[in-house]
Structure 1
Amino acid sequence: MRRRAAALLIVGALALVPVSGCAALVPRPVPAAAVECDPPAPPGATDAARAYTDAAHRAHEARVLLSDTIAAQDMMMSLDDLRTSAANDEAFLTEVRGIDFPPEAARAADDFLRAVEADDDFLLTAAAQDGYYAEHAAERNRLYENRTRAGHALREALGLPRSGCSLNLP
């Protein structure tokens, strides 16, 4: 299971295709399972809204794999799970940073990026220091709530419904 997760991390949410000495980003297809709990952008949505939902859907596959790993470990997270979660987010954030958000969503996008980065910084610190996660549970909850609120605010600014996906993540 961990080898497959590592392979997904290496492949990431984007495939790189060499083009005349450069690398062009080519998005992978959107997994059907992601669309089941997180509908695609509605008709008439902006390019940014469509790009964001597509990025979220592509990130879903790696998140489900991690969620299943945690469930198989009797809902216990390993330090590797913390690192995997942050690595999964980095691939997703790479796509989100490449989106040209309209002015009415730009601040929400920046807030979302900062919230995910802060959350991932915590996870990587916890992965490097045994016991850190448990010792800083209140901070972890605050960061998780900030990330959730920022995600809802970005979706609202883009005219997107909230995601209905429920996963077991750090």
Structure 2
Amino acid sequence: MLSAHSGYIYRTDLLAQVDADKLFLAALRGITFPTDAAAAAENLIAAIEAYDAFLMAGYKDLASYVSNPNEDDHLNATRAQSSGHLRSLLGLPASTSTFLRP
């Protein structure tokens, strides 16, 4: 949707990301991680929850979302770093995909 609209963000895009994350979080919580990766998994969950809270605040007030691109970048970077750290601890290769989140 973002590509089709030249990167313009709609309120529904924020909600769509949160809804997708609900499924992802449920799947993450359903995994029993090895002891040495459990804290990293919890950090990833916390990073996703923080990002989703930011998106929900933006859904309620789109102007606040649009006016805080640095916070969006920070939360996205934290999420990506947390994900990468967990992948590394699990012996998985680094992600090669790029995803444009609202």
Q: Give me the TM-score of the superposition, normalised by structure 1.
A: 0.58
Alpha-carbon deviation of 1:168? 2.4
Question: Is 1:139 paired with 2:71?
Answer: yes
Question: Is 1:160 paired with 2:92?
Answer: yes
Question: Is 1:84 paired with 2:4?
Answer: no
Alpha-carbon deviation of 1:132? 0.9
**Residue type of the partner of 2:94?**
R
Gaps of 5+ in 1: 1-68
Gaps of 5+ in 2: none
Separation in structure 2 between the aligned mates of residue 130 and residue 151 of structure 1, nearest angstrom: 27
How many residues end up aligned between the 2 structures? 102
Question: Which residue does 1:14 correspond to in 2?
Answer: none
Question: Is 1:108 paired with 2:40?
Answer: yes
Q: Give me the TM-score of the superposition, normalised by structure 2.
A: 0.95
Separation in structure 1 between the aligned mates of residue 71 and residue 22 of structure 2, nearest angstrom: 21
- Structure number with higher relative contact order (C-alpha < 8 Å, ≥ 6 residues apart): 2
Q: Give the share of equivalent positions with the same residue, in percent.
A: 32
RMSD: 0.9
Larger radius of gyration: 1
Structure 1 stretches of 4+ moved >6 Å? none
Separation in structure 2 between the aligned mates of residue 163 and residue 99 of structure 1, nearest angstrom: 19
